[in-house]
Amino acid sequence: MKDYKAADIRNIAIAGHSGSGKTTLAEALIYKAGASDRLGKTADGNTVCDYDPEEIKRKASLSTALASVEYNGLKLNLLDAPGLFDFEADMREAVYASDTVLITVSGKSGVKVGTKKAYKQAEALGKAKLFVVTKVDDPDANFYNVLTELKTEFGPTVCPVIVPVINNRQVVSYINLIEMKCYKYDEKGNVTETDMPDADISDKLDYRIDGLVAAFSEAVAETDEALMEKFFEGETFTQKELVKGLHDGMNSGVITPVICCSDVTMGGIDMLLKEIALLLPSPADTKPMTAYKGDDLIEVPVDENAPVGAFVFKTVADPFVGKMSFIKVVSGTFSANAEYKNATTGESEKIGKIYTLCGKKQIELSKAYAGDICVAVKINAQTNDTLCGGSVYEFEKIDFPKPCYKMAVKAKAQGDEAKISTGFARIMEEDPSIKFYQDPQTVEFILAGLGEQHLEVAAAKLKSKFGSDITIAPRKIAYRETIRKKVKVQGKHKKQSGGHGQYGDVWIEFEPCVSDELVFEERVFGGAVPKNFFPAVEKGLQESMQKGILAGCPVVGVKAILADGSYHPVDSSEMAFKTAAGIAFKEGMKQADPTILEPIGSLKVLLPNDNTGDVMGDLNKRRGRVLGMNPAEEKGMTIIEAEVPEREMETFTTQLRQITRGMGTFEYDFVRYEQLPANLVSEVIVSLNND
């Protein structure tokens, strides 16, 4: 592959709802551009972008794939992103690295949550947007209904560019509104120009086309004062003016073109490629990226002659190649066998070979110019790191979704824990929305992600890439025990077995207090217990606090006062008083009205306004206390704040996704412990004792 400068590069993220045809469209574009000699199918597991064994098995994209192809003197870097909500982190990586987000919308099902999420992410990062309506050749598809839906949802920026001619629920041809020409495709995808449709095809089409052309022209007129003046005078725009208006409108965000195609029959794919070349902004057209130089915010323009500034937007842990770092070159010329400064860590990064990819196919490069995307292998940099060749600065980082679905992990093979930890460390490099750690309270290993499927795929990768097999199960809740009344008890340890015996006698007052640790005091008078035994008494109580009498949970909220006791000048020892303190603790717990405490967390839910009632009802069922409800910054969204027992949160991720159809997100953090309701105490005691 030859070297490409910024003006001849198009960085395109393909995003959208799951099942809307992203990978199939990428496959069609790759095939039509001549980078592949066959048209693969997702169902057959032979597409360029879904090459991972787990993707082939599940017939769905699970991570962003890079496919760089050459087309008419341009280099197209296609980033095929997953549509499944559990893999949103990869979608965010793809959008960040792109200049245009190509959002697929099924001609059958229309606008879905994944469509809105992709559009929202593109808007947040200031990327150009292009809607591609797929599957228009399906008998159940309705392009014009989908177009109306797009305009309703996303506003007047939506502008049709290529539309289908439909007769008897079949696509007979495609109209390019820029050229005002009509094209038809045979069964092999070969294209020929044909006459514009007349009333024999559709008696409403003339009216519809006139309306589309008028809306199209008005949208273009909005991009330039001279074009607006020409529009008001009723003059027709030239094809060059239309192309420039659409290009500028996309780059500024005031126009979102809509193109239809059939990625199965290849209808319209050639026109889509043509419009990609004509309309989509190159890296040279985009606004400079912002970066932090100390506390100052600076702009870094796309300039191949400037010092190198590059951003690692994705990491892949490949068991054969090693660690692969996907890099967006923002400025300068990024070279193989060079050394750069990692602005994030402060370390130097020695770059070996660099590549461009077409799926799993690697093509070696000597250098990548500003605006391009390349892959470096076996470097230390992590996702979100900035590499610099001159002055040191850091690009703004990708904002990844926080893991909210947690399960316990156990090794199937004994002694495999270290291997599992190493494997998950590599997987966390690859996916920042996965977390693996040991819970200090329950001592369980916890795997956290965005949903059930997310964790299943992580476990499958651990087995296939790193040879470790695990089971995933619900995690334990870190309950506590405490007391509710004040008591005074005796703990006496006396044992005679020949020679020196053992003797320790203490009277201890136990009372509730607000503390996670034991509060110990001594009020012994007259030397009933010598001072040198006080530490042993405290140590005996501390050890006893580790395991309560109800369910063996750690004990909190206890104040112990050593009030009295007795000792033997020969048989008393530190061990005897430590044992006596333990006896007193157990007896004191029995008499002091013990109970179970459960962890309570602070919950903040972001969700659509229409779903607030259903979610609040669900929180009430989970024994949650709603503290407030406020409008979010995002239009049409609300934030609900509540406190909910951790015990009730296990299924909340799935339930929220069902209620909001994937639009809802939440954050949950531990706040404090509260008394478990009496009706649940016996159930918890039984379950913990069985464990």
Domain ranges of the chain: 6-285, 289-395, 405-473, 481-588, 596-690
For 314, 324, 328, 383, the CA distances from 309, given in Å and listed in that order, are 16, 19, 9, 15
For 405-473, CATH gives 3.30.70.870
Provide mean pLDDT across the span 322-333.
95
Q: What predicted TM-score, i.e. pTM, was given to this entire model?
A: 0.89
Other C-beta atoms closer than 10 Å to the C-beta of 190 total 10
According to CATH, what is the number of the domain 481-588?
Answer: 3.30.230.10
Do 405-473 and 596-690 show the same overall fold? yes
Between CA 373 and CA 561 the distance in angstroms is 68
What residues have CB less than 8 Å from 186, skipping those under 6 apart?
Answer: 192
In this model, does residue 207 exceed pLDDT 60?
Answer: no
Mind listing the pLDDT tens digit for each residue in 460-517? Answer: 999 988 889 999 999 999 999 999 999 999 999 998 766 678 999 999 999 999 988 9
**What pLDDT score does 80 carry?**
97
Question: Distance (Å, rounded) from C-alpha 272 to C-alpha 561?
Answer: 80
Percent of the residues in the chain that have a pLDDT greater than 90, as a whole number: 78
pLDDT band of 234, cuts 50, 70, 90: confident
Query: What's the pLDDT score for residue 201?
Result: 58
> What is the H or E stretch that residue 668 is in?
strand 665-675
With CA atoms as reference, report the closest residue to 247 among 144, 130, 119. 130
User: Measured between alpha carbons, how far is 682 from 172 in angstroms, rounded to an integer?
Assistant: 70
Among the residue ranges 203-217, 316-330, 558-572, the one predicted with the least confidence is: 203-217
Q: How much is the mean pLDDT over the chain?
A: 92
Tens digit of each residue's pLDDT (9 = 90 or more) over 390-446: 899 999 999 999 999 999 999 988 888 889 999 999 999 999 999 999 998 888 999
Query: How many C-beta atoms lie closer than 10 Å to residue 392's C-beta?
Result: 17
Q: Does domain 289-395 have CATH number 3.90.420.10?
A: no
Annotation: CATH topology of 596-690:
Alpha-Beta Plaits (3.30.70)
pLDDT in tens, 36-58: 988 888 888 899 999 988 999 99
CATH of domain 6-285: 3.40.50.300
pLDDT attached to residue 257: 95
Q: Of 12-16, 165-169, 635-639, 663-667, which one has max mean pLDDT?
A: 12-16
The Cα 158–Cα 254 span in angstroms is 9
Q: What is the pLDDT of residues 580-636, one digit of tens each?
A: 999 999 999 999 999 999 999 999 999 999 999 999 999 999 999 999 999 998 889
Structure confidence at residue 219 (pLDDT): 85
**What's the pLDDT at 635?**
86
> What is the arithmetic mean of pLDDT over 182-186?
91
